[in-house]
Structure 1
Amino acid sequence: MSETSSRDWPRRLLIGFYWFLAAEFVLGAMTKFAPGETVFGPAYSVKFADWGYPSWFRFVIGGVELICAILLVVPRRRARFLGAGALVVVLVGAVVTHVANQDPIYESVSAPLHLAIMAAIAWASRPAHWRELRPVRRVPLSDQG
């Protein structure tokens, strides 16, 4: 095995993980667009109404999930950051919805798990100028001597 390929496998594994997550969110979006029952139970139009949202809101959430899934696999850091960041917002809403509605744990475990993953991806993909933990102190020109 060459030295280049041995150093390249962690990057390829990470890209595969992004594609896996994107596939999950595409599947989730498609189930929100589906008119009837899904592999995950009742129709999302019914679920959203039971949660207290208008049934059409599933299309908004499904659309955001679909766009974000695409952004996760675009090979640009900024796209991945935007996709993961938007999914963090959606998943915070999902977690709050599941907690507020006291859904069973087997229905509620996916949202917090994916929230943690997307928060980690957003943090790792944040813009370079945000990585400085403390702002750079600017010295006025008059004080430089």
Structure 2
Amino acid sequence: MRARIATALYWIVAAEFLLGAVTKYWPGTGPLGQDYAAKFTHWGYPAWFRFVVGTLELICSVLLVVPRRPSRFLGAAGLVLVLDGAVTTHMVNHDVITQSLDAPIHLLVAAAIALANWPADWKLLLRPGRWAPQPR
């Protein structure tokens, strides 16, 4: 039962970041009412940088749903890095709290997922065949 709840959490978080990746690729105002090209320019980044962030979110969301601990750890660790940049960007630009509250919350969730899938030894990340598959 506990594994099913964890798997459901992984899928929910992956779906959120998959939706975020799609909206970053959307030209102009997207389905959620956000123009990420304008937002990234306002934040001081080039408009094309949204594709880099969207690609990282897409890769990490796919890694979260792979039922192996190394994949989930790498996906969550990648999201932690992306979300560190998001939190820092919101802080530096003094965005209102309603716009910048979701990044720290997602950062905490991604960090919790990374900690839950933390490898026993860093060498195991280099040889992923050594990790046992996740029990069902």
Using structure 1 for the length normalisation, give the TM-score.
0.81
Tell me, yes or no, if structure 1 residue 97 matches structure 2 residue 89. yes
More divergent stretch after superposition (94-103 vs 36-45): 36-45
For 1:108-119, what aligned pairs fall within 5 Å after superposition? 108-119=100-111
Aligned-pair identity (%): 57
Alignment size in residue pairs: 122
For 1:40-51, what aligned pairs fall within 5 Å after superposition? 40-51=32-43
Match of 2:19 among 27, 36, 39: 27
Looking at structure 2, the residues matched to 42 and 74 of structure 1 have their Cα atoms a distance apart, in angstroms, of 29
For 1:1-145, what aligned pairs fall within 5 Å after superposition? 9-129=1-121
Q: CA deviation at 1:125?
A: 0.7
Query: 2:134 maps to what in 1?
Result: none
Residues 77-125 of structure 1 show CA distances to partners (whole Å, capped at 9, x for unaligned) of 0000000001100000000000110111111011000000111111111
Q: CA deviation at 1:129?
A: 2.3
Secondary structure of residue in 2 paired with 1:126: coil
Q: CA deviation at 1:25?
A: 0.2
- RMSD of aligned residue pairs (Cα, Å): 1.0
Using structure 2 for the length normalisation, give the TM-score.
0.86
Q: Bigger relative contact order, structure 1 or 2, given CA contacts below 8 A and separation 6+?
A: 2
Change (3 A) 1:36 1:59: same
Looking at structure 2, the residues matched to 42 and 79 of structure 1 have their Cα atoms a distance apart, in angstroms, of 30
